[in-house]
Structure 1
Amino acid sequence: MAGHRLDRTRGLPAERSSFVGRRAELADVRRLLSGSRLVTLVGPGGVGKTRLAVRAGTELRRSFTDGVTLADLTAVADPARVGEHVARALDVRDVSGRWLPATVAEVVGDRQVLLVLDNCEHLQDACAVLVDTLLATCPGLRVLATSRVPLDVDGEAVLWVPPLGVPSRDRPAAGTPSEAVALLVQRATAAVPGLVLGPVDDAALADVCRRLDGLPLAIELAAVRLRTLTPAELAGRLDDRFGLLRRSGTAVPERHRTLQATMEWSAELLTEADRVLWRRASVFAGDVSLAAAEAVCADDVLPAPAVLDALDRLVAASLLEAVPGPGGRRFRMLETVRAYGRELLDAAGEAHAVRLRHAGWCARLVAAASAEFVGPGQVAAFDRLDAVHAELGAALDVYLAGHAERGLVMAADLWLYWAARGHLGEGRRRLQDLLAACPEPSRTRARGMVAAGFLALAATDPAAAVPLLTGARELGEACGAPSVVATATQYLGQAALFDGDLAAADRLLREAAARHAAADGRYEAFCWADVGVAALLAGRDADAAEAFGRSLALAERGDPWTRSHALWGLGLVRLTTGEPDEATALERSALGLMREVDDRSGTALCIEALSWAAAARQAWERAARLGGAAEAVWRSIPADLPAPLTRRREECTTAARRALGDRRWGALHREGAALDRTGAVTLALDERPTPAVPQAGAGAGPLTARQQEVARLVAEGLTDRQIAARLVISPRTAESHVEQILARLGVRSRAEIAAWTAARAAG
């Protein structure tokens, strides 16, 4: 058409700062554009969609002989002007008076053009119509769009742009910094000439990036604050992130000048129902299920049937991310999105009511799980609570602030979970605070005291446990609570064991077993395991074997916690009677159940016993390694081996040191002590030595096909969350795979996994 042409010089803006990371996402853009003519980069505000699109367009210039052009729609408010704006970007002049999209389509024709259509979310329908028209008539055109919501055009490929990778809180990455930290350091040193950031700042920089969810916009805003704040000071002020993170300058789009403006832009695009769900869902501390959202967020304003549609729209708007979970899809909210939602909740005057509903939902969930603690559904109950652990703390905070008795009921219901899943310290603190807030005598207080006493014993602190248990027993008798009296009596028997008073322990534990049989027979089996321990320590091996056998018989269809402890005790009996092979088999069975339950104290006890059994077989090197591994597990709880058992440990250690020599024993013991809990259990359950790192060309090595796949992603620098997204698994499953890889390869860092992967590839 005469008078119309495409000017290849009107392309992409030059980058004003270095581009950090995003190798995987750039590869995904290239791959998707090779198979689809419309690719939309979707993600929350500030995640870096525009920078990614511009970089991808720059790298793809040679693939589009007629040019790569950017049409930025940020400032376009009227949907009717979208076509005009795109035409201007393509240098198409409206000189004919025809329908503008038709003119643009005629000018583009069959030319090979990539159109980068930036910031489409507020003009979704108009962009969809225009793109659909152009793609239908321009066979050489491809469109790379950025939006907080998909365009919903036939043939559209959607690429979710995640935040940048951040360092793991549990295992900070060694060597190369994460993408988020690299961006923060680069922008900070550019903004503050002469700024020097050293190793002393690493922890604070990592904390800043984690708390900002790896959002590039938030990180760039934070970098500017390092003109006046140290990294540690910056991290300490992030509770006020919306007031802290702002920048000036007319060249900066208004919605990116402050973090709050970015959130406000997102809120303006939502319906009222969506905003209601956003602010109410912000009370959740972690991922939320549909059922939980309906239970906590629905009312007359937002009826339960409307919650699903609102969730779907929040996912489409990139304010929630749908992630797979063991019980179905769950919905994840970035911490910055959550923080703004909580501001909306406070402004709406709903905070107290919604937080109480959330606490009530948690209390009901805990009560239902607690009813299964001494049955075959025990592990599943623990797993359900693990999935919402962050919510439990938030609920207890709400109850402590104004409904302490409800909180005490809930904290006491969690009694076995606190110990079984490694939350002893938290459980003790929670119960201490709630008991102080509920001083009046009651059944609830008696239950709270016995739970607190149990946790004190689990932490090998009998001095704190005895007064609590004695008080609980007296109060339970006064209030007519026979189950509390039976449980308090049982744990007073355990305290007597700790104190070495075996006669009192035997008397109290047998009394408790009788009381349990009369009040609630489900608890009798575990009490008989305690009777067995008392008999074992008193040297009455036959009585101990009988008590442990009785416990196993009563728990035949019961919970694995009880069976694991009975098997552990029976293994010690066999060790005492000179049967180390049978003892080893029993302890391995017990440890398998301990791992299933995730009983950390029990895990340490089993590994100790397996060390003693190895010494009895004169397998001195294994005894030394397992002794160190047991010490590492105790340290991770943290707790100590109960005093009545320390003599056995000392005897084993003395014999192993004598056989190996101090230097060799020390090296092996340190080797075991360096293992994490997963590695310690793997060592204890597998008689073979921990595999060394395979040499290049050694084949698949010790990893399964899935673990090899995860190892390759680790080598690419992906975080656990990014691996989970790539493989469509939960972050917890990804983390578990990485832990298993570390254990199987006998290495300690992700960098060593990457080295192993590279060696195999080179071979």
Structure 2
Amino acid sequence: MLLGRDGEVAALRGLLAHHRLVTVTGAGGVGKTALARAGASASPSSVTSELAEVSRPQEVPDAVAAALGFPSLAAALLAPRRDGLLLVLDNCEHVLDAAADTAARLLDGRPELTVLATSREPLGLADERILPLAPLALPAVDDPDRLADSPAAALLLAHARAAGHELVLDVAGAAAVAALCRRLDGLPLALELAAARTRSLTPSEILAHLDDRLDLLSRADHRGPRRHRSLEAAISWSYDRLPEPTARFFDRLGVFAGRFTADEARVVAGAPDADRLTIADRLDHLVGQSLLTVRQQDGRSWYGLLETLRAFARARLVERGEFDEAHDRWVDRLVARAAGTRWGTEPSEGPEVRSVTRAAQTDLLDALHWCLAHDDTPERAGSLVRQAVVVVHGARPEPVIEVGEDLLRRWPDPRSRAWPEFAAVAAFAHMVVRSTDRAAELARRALDADPSPFAAVLALRTLYFHDLLAGRPARALRWADQAVARADAGDEPGWASEMRTFRASALAALGRLDEAARQAGDAHTKAVAAGGGFPEALAALACATILTIDDVDRGRATLTALAERTRAAGYPLVEGPCHWTLAGIALREGRAAAAADRLVAALEVFVRIGHAVPLQVTLRLIAELAGAVGHGQASAVLREAAGSARTLTLYEWEWRDRLADVAAPAGPSTVPVRHAVALARRELATIAGSASADNRFVLDGAVWTVSFAGHTARLPDAKGLHDLATLLGRPNAEVHCTELIGARVEQPDTGELLDPQARRSYEARIIELQDVLTEAEDAADLGRAGAARTELDLLVDQLAAATGLAGRPRRGGGSTERARSAVTWRIHAAMRRVEEAHPALGRHLRASVRTGTRCCYAPEQETAWDLRSAVGAPR
């Protein structure tokens, strides 16, 4: 609820209309976040990064990038323009310098971006505009008839009603409400917490409780930091009303650095005899008291504490003398989870494990830092450090390099069991950023230190890359042979399969193509037997690439299907090279536009994940394409930006003649990567447009014919395709959702979005579909898996949309809200179908179409369409 802030909202929107950096400042609990949300609601496109969830300054860039939809800040800086984008950096004060630095980099690198920050103090950047936010106006009189004229009293009364209690506003009651508002300084968070207790206490009783127990609210400056005083009092008041077991449980939750599940809360914060139902009740109680936040994601609930609440809980835990014990339990939980999970080249145990992995990356790095600071021996860190491989694969090698080097300095004895693990993981991360000399040094030292099979294979893999990229394929082949043998002997099937695939690359580099083909096939067979996942996809790429050497048509068809499959599975390091090879084939055949289409796809894959080396390789291939069509100046600039970046020789096979002249650069490139990416996009658009057929989006009977970038596909009729055709026919114009849906009259609230019976049916069907999807993927039945995944995504989205805080049902809106929901879903469903049949057009639509109450097609470059009978066709 945002009451009494009309003037501030107007002032904020006015500042945002004329300035690129605006910071809302004020005391804790004054309502900075609520004001920022209200101000951002006028923006056509806004995202929020909740920095309260970030505990260490170095994590800020990744947290902000994740909110923008990218794995790293580098990826965010390279992304295509999104005009009208507003980024909200919420709760910056505890990571102020890092937030300011991140904001400065984004403002410099994304000229279309506006940043709105909330903080207890300004960021201190040039051209920053400050909007100080004062507490809500207090009641001037105790008159019951005029009490609600005060924003503070109106907010308290509204929250009380929301909590299920209508306060009695006789003379005494009004006086008590006015006094309570004054006692809480008009701070919105404190008022909300007080209103939650009106279910069991009168305002007078609440006021007495504050006077008796929480007089911190009125203490002078010498007692505690000013910025915490009122908020701390409000938190303490709510906390002191918790039952003792729940309070102890809340305190222990403070050791979590990121979000956590109910099971993790039970193990770390629960009593030894606590069952799952007890934990669920306590979590629900804390969510209801606004002491925990909850987010539904990947089919489960993830809980978290705001930074201030986490600090409060940790302080109480220190007072109890339990902080170290609870923190150790948290680290032990992570160690146990690591011991029970096999980590290969990427986690291949399915979506659930990947979900846990993404959520746990912050926890993992914090746990390793805890071990560095508190453990006498390296055993726990040695168990945890393996999972850092997944952090590297998530395009975040730098923090792994940092913690790896710290671990080596903290425990320098190579005779310990953990030391080779530290060295191998650090070497792996160094190789990803191409600090190859340090990578090779650490890898050799790891091999000399009696490593585990995992550490040995990781070190041998590093040495393989070191020599292959240096043009020594024979030596690389020897490292691959050793790695395969160690992985097989150590029961590391994921690594074994990957190294067999890399062995095929070394054989191809040596010209031993028949052996390379047999090796790639063997790698694929063994990867399938080991459970598939990323190693199977990598081996399939090797097989398809070698197939193109003898049978271009079969190889092209196989690579096209593999690119789509790996895009859906989330394996960009396989999807991107598929596009490389397909582009090389097209260029050899003289189809420059088709080559450009594939390189567009590869470029966007690697820009999205922010992985530097394959991005540079892609720029190099675009440079070769530009040179082939006579764009010599652009080609030279892109070559300089790419440097000598190379990847596996086999996956550049179709480009091998053109890349033969790659040499070490004379010095570092002077071309900023983001400028090179922008140039590459322009070149690819020009090349694709120069030879492409007319763009068509036409309904012929019951079949749509769609043409774009020289390719044509056909799709069965669907309502979302009509919506898209309407938008294509009115570029850059906002079309109201009710126009697309055909609604004419606004209708009122329709009640709960899902009744209890429908909710149970949805949940039961979701469980069934999860089983179907697992069976289909195990059987490699792509059609059945795709159908199950589509229905599952739809049901989960609808169930999430119908579920509010703590699982409470949401109510349906009027016809506009229903139209918005229906149109958004059917347009996105149509775009998914288009992308399956025509990847280039799908990517174009995904980047250009905005949905919501007002939908719009706004391409980055003007694009003409032949629509003919499509627009206005019957629905």
Q: TM-score under structure 1 normalisation? A: 0.58
Question: Does structure 1 residue 493 correspond to structure 2 residue 464?
Answer: yes
> Within 1, Cα distance between the matches of 2:457 and 2:85?
56
Pick the aligned partner of 1:535 from 495, 502, 507: 507
- 1:389-430 deviations in whole A, cap 9, x for unaligned? 332232222122222724532443215412433332332322
Pick the aligned partner of 1:667 from 672, 682, 697: 682
Question: Does structure 1 residue 449 correspond to structure 2 residue 406?
Answer: no
Question: Does structure 1 residue 467 correspond to structure 2 residue 441?
Answer: yes
Amino acid at match of 1:451: V
> Within 1, Cα distance between the matches of 2:528 and 2:3?
71
Q: 2:403 aligns to what?
A: 430
Structure with max Cα Rg: 1
Q: 1:393 aligns to what?
A: 365
Q: Which segment drifts farther, 396-405 or 532-541? A: 396-405
Question: Does structure 1 residue 170 correspond to structure 2 residue 68?
Answer: yes
Q: Which segment drifts farther, 252-261 or 268-277? A: 252-261
Amino acid at match of 2:627: T
Amino acid at match of 2:283: L
- 1:60-102 deviations in whole A, cap 9, x for unaligned? xxxxxxxxxxxxxxxxxxxxxxxxxxxxxxxxxxxxxxxxxxx
> Within 2, Cα distance between the matches of 1:660 and 1:205?
33
Q: Which segment drifts farther, 633-642 or 352-361? A: 633-642
Q: How much has 1:596 moved relative to structure 2?
A: 5.4
Matches within 5 A, 1:717-756: 726-728=801-803, 746=845, 748=847, 756=855
Matches within 5 A, 1:293-692: 293-299=265-271, 306-371=278-343, 377=349, 380-403=352-375, 405-406=378-379, 408-441=381-414, 442-476=416-450, 481=452, 484-520=455-491, 522=493, 523-558=495-530, 559-577=532-550, 579-592=551-564, 594-595=566-567, 598-635=570-607, 636-641=609-614, 652=625, 654-657=627-630, 667-669=682-684, 688=711
Q: Residues 233, 302 of structure 1: CA spacing in aligned structure 2 closer, same or farther, 3 A cutoff?
A: farther
Pick the aligned partner of 2:724 from 701, 721, 730: 701
Q: Contact conserved, 1:564 with 1:589, CA < 8 A, in 2?
A: no
Percent of pairs with identical residues: 19
- 1:18-63 deviations in whole A, cap 9, x for unaligned? 3859xxxxxxxxxxxxxxxxxxxxxx98779999xxxxxxxxxxxx
Q: Contact conserved, 1:702 with 1:744, CA < 8 A, in 2?
A: no
Amino acid at match of 1:598: G
Q: How much has 1:569 moved relative to structure 2?
A: 1.9
Q: How much has 1:318 moved relative to structure 2?
A: 3.0
Q: Residues 550, 49 of structure 1: CA spacing in aligned structure 2 closer, same or farther, 3 A cutoff?
A: closer
Q: 2:775 aligns to what?
A: none
Q: 1:282 aligns to what?
A: 254
Amino acid at match of 1:746: L
Q: Residues 629, 744 of structure 1: CA spacing in aligned structure 2 closer, same or farther, 3 A cutoff?
A: closer
Q: How much has 1:167 moved relative to structure 2?
A: 12
Q: Residues 179, 446 of structure 1: CA spacing in aligned structure 2 closer, same or farther, 3 A cutoff?
A: closer
> Within 2, Cα distance between the matches of 1:49 and 1:528?
52
Question: Does structure 1 residue 254 correspond to structure 2 residue 206?
Answer: no
Q: How much has 1:374 moved relative to structure 2?
A: 7.7
Amino acid at match of 2:438: A
Q: How much has 1:350 moved relative to structure 2?
A: 2.6
- 1:265-284 deviations in whole A, cap 9, x for unaligned? 32233222222222221222
> Within 2, Cα distance between the matches of 1:309 and 1:586?
52
Q: Residues 470, 16 of structure 1: CA spacing in aligned structure 2 closer, same or farther, 3 A cutoff?
A: closer
Counterpart secondary structure, 1:607? helix
Q: Contact conserved, 2:849 with 2:855, CA < 8 A, in 1?
A: no
Q: Residues 378, 666 of structure 1: CA spacing in aligned structure 2 closer, same or farther, 3 A cutoff?
A: closer
> Within 2, Cα distance between the matches of 1:205 and 1:465?
40
Pick the aligned partner of 1:18 from 7, 31, 51: 7
Q: How much has 1:690 moved relative to structure 2?
A: 11
Q: Residues 168, 452 of structure 1: CA spacing in aligned structure 2 closer, same or farther, 3 A cutoff?
A: closer
Counterpart secondary structure, 2:314? helix
Q: How much has 1:504 moved relative to structure 2?
A: 1.1
> Within 1, Cα distance between the matches of 2:340 and 2:828?
30
> Within 1, Cα distance between the matches of 2:264 and 2:403?
24
Pick the aligned partner of 1:208 from 117, 133, 136: 117
Q: Contact conserved, 1:372 with 1:378, CA < 8 A, in 2?
A: no
> Within 2, Cα distance between the matches of 1:687 and 1:327?
40
Q: Which segment drifts farther, 386-395 or 641-650? A: 641-650
- 1:181-239 deviations in whole A, cap 9, x for unaligned? 9x99xxxxxxxxxxxxxx89999995633xx7xxxxxxxxx5xx6xxx5665999x9xx
Amino acid at match of 1:475: A
Q: Contact conserved, 2:737 with 2:854, CA < 8 A, in 1?
A: no
Structure 1, unmatched stretches of 5+, are 1-12, 22-43, 52-165, 185-198, 213-221, 238-243, 674-682, 704-710, 716-721
Q: How much has 1:262 moved relative to structure 2?
A: 2.7
> Within 2, Cα distance between the matches of 1:551 and 1:668?
38
Q: Contact conserved, 1:285 with 1:394, CA < 8 A, in 2?
A: yes
Q: Which segment drifts farther, 262-271 or 627-636? A: 627-636
Structure 2, unmatched stretches of 5+, are 11-27, 36-63, 70-75, 77-81, 93-106, 141-180, 188-229, 637-678, 689-705, 727-735, 741-796, 806-823, 836-840, 859-869
Q: Contact conserved, 1:604 with 1:633, CA < 8 A, in 2?
A: yes
Counterpart secondary structure, 1:329? strand
Q: Contact conserved, 2:464 with 2:475, CA < 8 A, in 1?
A: yes
Q: 2:79 aligns to what?
A: none
Q: How much has 1:293 moved relative to structure 2?
A: 0.8
Q: How much has 1:170 moved relative to structure 2?
A: 1.3
Counterpart secondary structure, 1:440? coil
> Within 1, Cα distance between the matches of 2:510 and 2:630?
27
Q: How much has 1:292 moved relative to structure 2?
A: 0.8
Q: Which segment drifts farther, 299-308 or 563-572? A: 299-308
> Within 2, Cα distance between the matches of 1:167 and 1:509?
36
Counterpart secondary structure, 1:549? helix
Q: Which segment drifts farther, 567-576 or 642-651? A: 642-651
> Within 2, Cα distance between the matches of 1:276 and 1:328?
24
> Within 1, Cα distance between the matches of 2:356 and 2:709?
29
Amino acid at match of 2:467: A
Q: TM-score under structure 2 normalisation? A: 0.52
> Within 1, Cα distance between the matches of 2:353 and 2:3?
56
Amino acid at match of 2:472: D
Q: Contact conserved, 1:469 with 1:491, CA < 8 A, in 2?
A: yes
Q: Which segment drifts farther, 658-667 or 409-418? A: 658-667
Amino acid at match of 2:528: E
> Within 2, Cα distance between the matches of 1:426 and 1:699?
47
Counterpart secondary structure, 2:724? coil
Alignment root-mean-square deviation, CA? 5.5
Amino acid at match of 2:584: W
Q: 1:87 aligns to what?
A: none
Q: How much has 1:725 moved relative to structure 2?
A: 6.0
Q: Contact conserved, 1:421 with 1:600, CA < 8 A, in 2?
A: no
> Within 1, Cα distance between the matches of 2:400 and 2:528?
29
Q: How much has 1:499 moved relative to structure 2?
A: 1.0
